[in-house]
Amino acid sequence: KIKDILKDNEIRFVGFLDQEGNLIKGDFRRGLVPFENDKEQRQTFQELAERVSARKKFDHSMGPVKYSASRREKIVMMSFPLNRYILLITADPHVNIDRLAYKIIQKLGDTWSDFFGR
């Protein structure tokens, strides 16, 4: 799935994190230089996992989070809670967030079938 998602030219990074924010598997778009060093990336991943976990307390009243996104000056970060894991996507800052999220969910296939109410 990672290589398939990375085919989109707007995507910079795709990674699967565990609930503690440890990177299980991930990759950057070919030829890309990350904005953060390894230590900063680990910290970003851990903080993201904490935010994903914190949002779960509202699942009973608003339903589970399907994805979350933040647009920064240099990058867009998107997280997709996926069972016990988190799919993290970073993309170029000009990306259409909702369009990209829809494309990602389509690529995830049956794993996200409940997103469409099936």
Three-state DSSP at 13 gives: strand
Domain enclosing residue 33, as ranges? 2-116
Three-state DSSP at 112 gives: helix
How far, in Å, CA of 10 to CA of 92, rounded? Answer: 5
pTM of the model: 0.87
How far, in Å, CA of 81 to CA of 49, rounded? Answer: 9
CATH number for 112 = 3.30.450.30
Three-state DSSP at 27 gives: strand
Specify the number of domains making up the chain. Answer: 1
- Please give the chain's pLDDT, 118 residues, in tens: 788 888 889 999 999 999 999 999 999 999 898 999 999 999 999 999 999 999 999 999 999 999 999 999 999 999 999 888 999 999 999 999 999 999 998 888 765 544 433 3
Q: Please give the DSSP secondary-structure letter assigned to residue 34.
A: P
